[in-house]
Amino acid sequence: MYVSKIKLHNFRRFRDLEIVFNKRRNILVGDNESGKSSILQAIDITAKGSRHRLEDIGLQNIINITAISDFLSGDRNNRTLPIMFVELYLSDIISEELEGKNNSDGIVTCGLRLTAEPDIKLSEQIHAVISSDNTAFPFEFYSITFMTFANVPYNGFSRKLKTIFLDTS
């Protein structure tokens, strides 16, 4: 099994990014602060299904700052709050638990999805915060989900993909 594609939406510096990977070897090359480590971090967090890791980093440091700025300066309503997701498309595997259409391409394939989006159960509270003159963004009203493309939840204890992330900094 390998990650054949990654899709990032409103993740760190990327509004929308899609990378198709080679089966054998992939090398990310770019200037400092171009997003190489962010891509590896997105793979690591999504593969591990670690809510704790995501909370340590902080949602405010993960959701794209331009998406937040656009929201705060635009039509501030519940429908326009930005959603962040990471999708890992997996190849060379057959698994009912991983295969489904819970992905932005809408195709039946195997994969994992991390999503951060406003919690609809808290719509009234969210509306109260965003309709005020307050410039605060309602990060605390977001829910984090780790789902397979088959719409099966997973977490760090039931992870579907083994990874290792070495941070050399």
* Alpha-carbon gap, residue 140 to 110, rounded angstroms: 31
Residue-wise pLDDT for 94-109, tens only, equals 888 999 999 999 999 9
Judge if pTM exceeds 0.85.
yes
Q: Is the pLDDT of residue 167 over 70?
A: no
With 0-12 / 13-18 / 19 or more C-beta atoms within 10 angstroms meaning exposed / middle / buried, residue 8 is buried
Q: Which distant-in-sequence residues (6+ apart) come within 8 Å of 96 by Cβ?
A: 150
Phi first, then psi, for residue 87 (nearest 5°) are -120, 130
Q: Is the pLDDT of residue 86 over 70?
A: yes
| Secondary structure E strands in the chain | 2-11, 14-20, 84-91, 99-100, 109-118, 142-148
Q: Which distant-in-sequence residues (6+ apart) come within 8 Å of 123 by Cβ?
A: 78
* Alpha-carbon gap, residue 159 to 161, rounded angstroms: 6
Nearest alpha carbon to residue 117 among 66, 82, 88:
82
* Alpha-carbon gap, residue 127 to 136, rounded angstroms: 12
The bridge status of strand 99-100 relative to strand 142-148 is unpaired
The whole-number pLDDT of residue 19 equals 97
Residue-wise pLDDT for 48-68, tens only, equals 998 888 989 999 999 999 999
Q: Which distant-in-sequence residues (6+ apart) come within 8 Å of 83 by Cβ?
A: 9, 10, 115, 116, 117, 118
Residues facing 5 on adjacent strands: 20, 89
The whole-number pLDDT of residue 160 equals 61
Question: Is residue 26 within 8 Å of residue 79, measured between CB atoms?
Answer: no
Average pLDDT estimate for 4-22 = 97
At residue 28 the predicted structure's pLDDT band, cuts being 50, 70 and 90, is confident
Residue-wise pLDDT for 105-149, tens only, equals 999 999 999 999 999 999 898 888 888 877 788 899 999 999 999
